[in-house]
Amino acid sequence: MIYKTKKIDDIEEEDRNIKVTGQIVEAYGNRILYEMCPNCNKRVSLVDNTYICDICGEEIEEPNYLMIIPCVIEDDTGTMRVTFFRTAAEELIGMKIKEIIEVIQKTGDEGSLEDKVSDLVGHEITVIADASFDEYNEEIRLNAKKLVEIKL
């Protein structure tokens, strides 16, 4: 499949499967792992050492985990937020979700990988992504589907 290459300033909210290259100027890693309900796939709450789904109302024995790494990239035309989910997040950080769960469980600190995520700043990346309009921040942002390349 041929992916259309776009500069940040040329990205429109309907763009799908576009190829974008930029330097990571910000990366947020204070919390990259989220516990999800295996039934409805919504976030769960930890109450008295038990996971409870606010939607299903059920006690969850073992939640699913979702990894999210938000970044800001920049090229010579501007900056844009890009969010890496699941496999794309694993590719970006160079760790599988199971490894991340183990690190967080060993340290007991959700932010224990913050330095590893911060080390991404300054790297140039190329991603295949979909653009969408973020109503909350009133801006176009990218949802990374695949990390094509990462280099210093």
Please check the confidence at residue 1 and state whether its pLDDT lies above 80: no
The pLDDT of residue 108: 82
The model's confidence at residue 36, banded by pLDDT at 50, 70 and 90, is very high
State the pLDDT at residue 15: 97
- Cα–Cα separations (whole angstroms), residue 88 to 50, 101, 149: 29, 17, 11
Q: Which CATH class is domain 4-33+66-151?
A: mainly beta
Each residue's pLDDT tens digit, 2-34: 899 999 999 999 999 999 999 999 999 998 999
Note the pLDDT of residue 87. Answer: 94
| Residues 6+ positions from 137 with CB-CB distance below 8 Å | 81
Give the tens place of pLDDT for each residue, 43-95: 998 888 889 998 988 899 889 999 999 999 999 999 999 999 999 999 999 99
Kindly report, residue by residue over 98-128, the tens digit of the pLDDT.
999 999 888 888 888 999 999 999 999 999 9
pTM listed for this prediction = 0.90
- Domain extent listing, the chain: 4-33+66-151
Geometric angle at alpha carbon 130, from 75 and 69, rounded to 5°: 70
Among candidate residues 22, 33, 47, 6, the one with its CA nearest the CA of residue 98: 33
